[in-house]
Amino acid sequence: MEDDHRLPDCQTASRICAQDGRTEVGPITPIQNDLFAQGNPVTTQVDERPKTPRERLLKISTKPPRVFRRTRVGTIYLGNALRVLTDEVRPSSVDLIVTSPPFGLVRKKSYGNVDADQYVEWFRPFGEAFRRVLKPTGSLVIDIGGAWIPGQPTRSLYHYELLIMLCRKLGFHLAQEFFWWNPSRLPSPAEWVTVRRIRVKDAVDCVWWLSPTPWPKASNRRVLMPYSDAMKGLLKTGYRAKLRPSGHDISEHFAVDNGAAISPNLIAVPNTESNSYYLRYCNEKGLPPHPARFPAVLPEYFIRMLTDQGDLVIDPFAGSCVTGEVAERLDRKWICCEIIEDYLLGAMARFDRTHRNGRLRDELQGNVTGYKISHPGAAWGAAAGDPLAQDGGRRRRLTNTTKAKRKSKTVRPRASGGRGSR
């Protein structure tokens, strides 16, 4: 899920190559950025012997992409996704781009995410490339998490600004917004959620489904879900057609058993992979597993709903190639792009034919039939009298447990002639 944009702690700017006038994207230091602003030329020397991960990333990103591996119906590229989309993919030839780009987080990750305030401009050339290669009936699906403003309990708007840019500037249409709810996500950010208790757990990613035209091909019959117990009872006993209090006129056709229900735009999938074949493979080979993998069910949902067998699916920020593995299994042609070679070396576990059944078992472990969602008021009485922080939580307040611990804390005297005891 990464590309040359994954270079951490650097700004991105266009650089004109003196040799042939090409525009390339490269890392520009703050000092160099000031020189650009002043109109001064900047020369960048490439270290032929990269010593740090960042330097190795830069060296890879300036090289032409190369085919890392081919499968029965797919191709993996090591290198710059923009170059792959420009040089290897024909215009209007792609049916689906499904990806999870690096999020615009405040804290830097090992895969080199981009600052939230720079995110939209960084993403724009990718959006332009996506628009060029997608068919008029194709779709762009972006899984993107939110971010918090540094030092305060308020949210960044970067992922909404990205959506607006893609639609208003590049001509995409918002087919529908989805929300991936991860029931297993830990309470975060801890300072606002578990310490000051002034925000709730951030457990949802936005998933934007976009298209070049208002009419991308799709079928919700491909992604049906089981009927609820209440609906099963209604189908068994029958339903009397009438006007509902909400104003909806429910006809007798509502009680027809179609085999399954239409799914909502909330996708409930945990991300609890801890002992999969992929992780065991990375551990055995001494490779770093990609730290931001999405569950296979997420791309599979959209590949099933939006593509047919033989269609072309692309993930430009492929990471460990989850999208490629799913597309291969569903007989879709696919392309994955990744800039960090170690992640692709680990991704080879996903295409090891000798362990295919084990990989499928790992995927299905997360595909349980449903999740219990409690009513919002199920535990309202537990802390009904908890006082609100009148300053909005600006200052930390001590809990009763913390106060008791501080009050009971005493200094134990040392034992005579010894080190003391605990």
- Please identify every residue annotated as catalytic: 100-101, 143
Q: What is the dihedral of CA 297, 156, 85, 99, to 10 degrees?
A: 0
Distance CA 359, CA 356 (A): 5
The pairing of beta strand 266-268 with beta strand 312-315: unpaired
Residue 47 exposure: Cα atoms within 13 Å on the Cβ side = 10
DSSP H helices in 256-355: 277-285, 297-306, 322-329, 341-347
Going from the C-alpha of 401 to that of each of 11, 283, 404, the distances in angstroms are 45, 41, 5
Residues 325 and 359 sit within 8 Å (Cβ to Cβ): yes
Bridge partner list, 142: 99, 208
**Structural tokens at position 45:** 């020397």
5 DSSP 8-state letter:
G
Distance CA 178, CA 206 (A): 6
The kind and range of the H/E element at 129 are helix 119-133
The CA-CA-CA angle for residues 82, 310, 143, to 5°, reads 45
**Structural tokens at position 231:** 């609906």
**Structural tokens at position 392:** 């909005």
**Structural tokens at position 265:** 């735009």
Counting every residue written for the chain, the total comes to 422
